[in-house]
A = this chain, B = another copy of it.
């Protein structure tokens, strides 16, 4: 039994001792350093660029501008290739640009013997611009007279809509209609390890790229596309990586380092972004403006939800409209019995480019949906949990968007468990007393709840494929190679547990090859969409079964006992009476080294997954607000998750703590600020960009409702992104509960609270 136990992370010791090596720890002797020249305006065109002084600086080996790069537009989104051309990502980028689309856009790059020289060279490049008005929001970007950021686009990246059920009829017949507009902000991933990649050539036509990427196999494809060279001539290697949260599901630096080494005779060239560059010139979360209507009956039935979304992707499409699309599809499985309509547009603007970020549109849409749900509950005079209990999905419901049955839905149990564990009803009474006892009304307490549903992978929007390879080592241990990428989330450990479970050996006997190398690693699109545990488990389980079978067949050959009389247990082959017959080590040595029988025992499975499964969960939060100080304190916060079978409870809890922490930070303080006139970014650093630290974080608690998802090898569902989805609306609802003030824009910072409290005449 390995699955379901809190196995220590395989990489725990390597990471706490500092022995784990990341991309920048694995460079080559003589590596050169590249640095970008970023635009100092948000919108415009370079009218002149003079690199001669930079090139003349000793130690500078190359300066390249938009004039020097291949004219092959490419998309950077980390999606598996789509056979349908219409479903592919917008190819709207070149390696460098003459047309500046946001403050920080890349117009040139310098390569030098060291970073200091490269920085000096950047300062010697002389640039002049023709500046255009900055288009920052929906109205500016989509105005008929607006200048196109990308020719022929009309500044539109994509739009789509869906409708489940008869929304107009439901709106017309409902007892009550609630309306609201919700706006989310620009936030950034702030993974610990900044973007870094380097490349060199080990042949006249073969480029090796080492990168901190979530998506090595996709990265390879995009590098080959951007440089217009065959895919087999590019090799991408992903070592240990210090977080990504979706920002490394974009191909940001790899095409450039590949281009540079190709230009410079194959010498190794590294690009390592600073935190400042990461904050503005990688990717951010799409700000959403959501207009939403909610129709309810007096008995508490949710009749309809109608959403109208505008998503702002900034200067380049990146994941573009996929995010608004994905966001819309994930509401339905939560409230499958309501009529739901969704329409969305994604537009360009002169803001930093938005891409994938944990939740992939869901945090934005859940903020709107769970806020309006709260308004409805209050309108009806219902308890917030009761109202949701009446409307959320249950196992056996049909997802109207796919027509498929929801095989496991534990959201009701999550709400029940949360209510009980959180002492919801008790606290409600206590707060009522507390708030009325507080004579001035200055200190208030409130409760909030919010729910979410989320997928496990990208199917059917994208192909879902995973590969696993296992090798019985000479010492009886098993090496596992998977295409799935460990990016800090603990997937290697969970995969080792799955493999151990199927093989019948302890996790300590599994070695997971954590480095992915496109030359040798089984194919897998990478780490995103909370897909890995769900999608990869199928391949791992099958490979485990296959290798175990091969082990038993060799044992049968050695022992002359029928295969069905044998099994693997711990480090040995045993018989049906639990007698140890043969150690796996002796078996392995025989398989490798017997002169006539046996072979290296391996198993390899590549497998597509044509199902998806919905995870559910909710956040319950208790806040105390000092109205005069506009200070919010989270007294308690608890997430309850239905992620199916929990493979590793401690790691699962760790995911939740991290996700909730990120959710709190995004709800209360984070915001990348752009000048409303010029589009200049004000706070591209961690001093001015307010990310919550440990000091800002309350105690976070969590629990699980373990449903069994029948489409997964171990009954498991997604958990990577879900923990943050319902945090912001739960806090928003708790503020409403405490103060009566509805915060419909993120972040709900002290400044925003001040504005809102003043408008409400609380201060």
Contact = CB atoms under 8 A, between A and B. Distances in A.
A520 B481 contact: yes
Interface in A594-651: 594-602, 604, 606-608, 610
Interface string A63-84: 0000000000000000011110
A146 interface: no
A490 interface: no
Given A231-B475, A232-B479, A266-B19, A83 B590 contact: yes
Nearest to A29: B27
Contact of A19 (B27, B204, B464): B204
Interface string A189-201: 0000000000011
Nearest to A24: B29
Contact of A600 (B28, B224, B266, B606): B606
Interface string A467-487: 100000111010101000000
A616 B383 CA distance: 92
B606 A604 contact: no
A45 to B, nearest CB: 36
Contacts of A179: none
B81 A589 contact: yes
Given A14-B203, A463-B594, A595-B608, A519 B232 contact: no
A520 B19 CA distance: 21
A496 B206 CA distance: 17
Interface in A498-527: 511, 513, 517, 519-523
Nearest to A483: B600
Contacts of A513: 519-520
Given A203-B13, A221-B474, A232-B477, A465 B592 contact: yes
B202 A595 contact: no
Nearest to A598: B608
Nearest to A13: B204
A83 B460 contact: no
A203 to B, nearest CB: 4
A595 B460 contact: yes
A593 B83 contact: yes
Name the residue in A473, A523, A595, A607 with the highest tally of chain B Cβ atoms < 10 Å from its Cβ.
Answer: A595
Contacts of A20: 202-203
| Complex copy number for this chain | 2
Interface string A450-467: 000000000110111101
Pick from A202, A463, A598 the residue with the most CB of B within 10 Å. Answer: A202
B203 A463 contact: no
Interface in A67-121: 80-83
Contacts of A519: 479, 481, 511, 513
Contacts of A200: 21
Contacts of A521: 520
Interface string A14-48: 10010111000111110000000000000000000
A170 to B, nearest CB: 33
Contacts of A474: 81, 221, 231
Contacts of A598: 608
A676 interface: no
A465 B600 CA distance: 8
Given A475-B230, A481-B520, A606 B602 contact: yes
A17 to B, nearest CB: 6
A222 to B, nearest CB: 12
Contacts of A511: 232, 519
Contacts of A517: 520
Contacts of A601: 606
A600 B522 contact: yes
Contact of A523 (B29, B590, B592): B592
A481 B481 CA distance: 14
A137 to B, nearest CB: 36
B29 A473 contact: no
Contact of A204 (B17, B80, B460): B17
A231 B479 CA distance: 11
Contacts of A460: 595
A610 B595 contact: yes
A673 B266 CA distance: 44
A606 B600 CA distance: 6
Nearest to A230: B475
A459 B594 CA distance: 11
A379 to B, nearest CB: 43
B19 A202 contact: yes
A22 to B, nearest CB: 11
**A83, A477, A610: most-surrounded residue (chain B CB, <10 A):** A83
A610 B596 contact: yes
A232 B465 CA distance: 28
Contacts of A463: 592-595
A398 B200 CA distance: 54
B604 A604 contact: yes
Contact of A230 (B83, B477, B520, B595): B477
Contacts of A266: 17, 19
A589 B202 contact: no
A14 B593 contact: no
Contact of A595 (B203, B204, B459, B596): B459
Contacts of A477: 230-232
Nearest to A610: B596
A599 B608 contact: yes
Interface in A561-616: 589-590, 592-602, 604, 606-608, 610
A286 B462 CA distance: 63
For A224, A460, A513, A599, which residue has the most chain B Cβ atoms within 10 angstroms? A599
15 contacts: A19-B201, A20-B202, A25-B28, A25-B29, A26-B28, A82-B593, A83-B594, A221-B474, A231-B474, A231-B475, A459-B595, A520-B521, A523-B592, A598-B608, A602-B604
Interface of A: 11, 13-14, 17, 19-21, 25-29, 80-83, 200-206, 221, 224, 230-232, 266, 459-460, 462-465, 467, 473-475, 477, 479, 481, 511, 513, 517, 519-523, 589-590, 592-602, 604, 606-608, 610
Q: Which 4 A-B pairs have the closest CB atoms?
A: A600-B606, A599-B606, A14-B203, A523-B600
Given A25-B29, A517-B520, A601-B606, 11 more contacts: A19-B201, A19-B266, A26-B28, A83-B590, A230-B475, A463-B593, A464-B595, A479-B519, A513-B520, A595-B610, A599-B608
